[in-house]
Amino acid sequence: MTETFSRILDFLEHPALIGLGTVLAALGLGASGVWFVVRSIRRSRASDLTRDELRLLKEFNKNAGGNPRAYLDPVVTAQQAGLDIDSCTSEIQRLKDLDYLENTNIKAGVLSKQLPVWITTRGMRRAEQKR
């Protein structure tokens, strides 16, 4: 029995196996480093909005009241969020580009500067995040 263990230990102490173990350990550390970087990038995406955009999105979510098909007036929402509609048209467009808002089915007949929008379910989830 002791001779078997001795042979196993001699085999494990072979230089080629030690080198292979070192390479595998380095690959494992490299993989965990890549995982850490990817996780950091995903977490930083959560803060993809400026403060004004996030405030505006949260106000849209509040006005929608859980209904993704509620017609939301961007002018009123901007005023409720404490923003000037003339300065936040780019923020509204960016929220549409990021798929947090979408245009409604209304095409004409609105007296406002902006057509009503719908908040998407993705926009609702994003508005409910802490930052």
Question: Which residues, in sequence order, are bridge partners of residue 71?
Answer: none
Rounded (10°) CA dihedral 49, 51, 53, 56: 140
What's the whole-number average pLDDT of the chain?
Answer: 79
**pLDDT of 109 above 80:** no
Q: What are 5-63's pLDDT values in tens digits?
A: 677 666 667 676 677 767 777 777 676 677 766 666 655 555 578 889 999 999 999 99
Tokens of 87: 């300065």
Confidence (pLDDT) at 28:
73
Given a cut of 80, whether residue 108 has pLDDT beyond it is no
Chain position carrying tokens 């909005």: 49
Local confidence band at 89 (pLDDT 50, 70, 90 cut-offs): confident
Instruction: Map residue 69 onto helix, strand or coil.
Output: coil
C-alpha to C-alpha distance for 21 and 26, rounded to whole angstroms: 9
- pLDDT at res. 58: 94
User: Between these two residues, 95 and 88, which has the higher pLDDT value?
Assistant: 95
Residue with the larger pLDDT of the pair 33 and 115:
115
**Range 51-128 has CATH code 1.10.10.10:** yes
Predicted pLDDT at 99 = 92
Going from N- to C-terminal start, the domains of the chain cover: 2-45, 51-128
Report the amino acid identity of residue 5: F
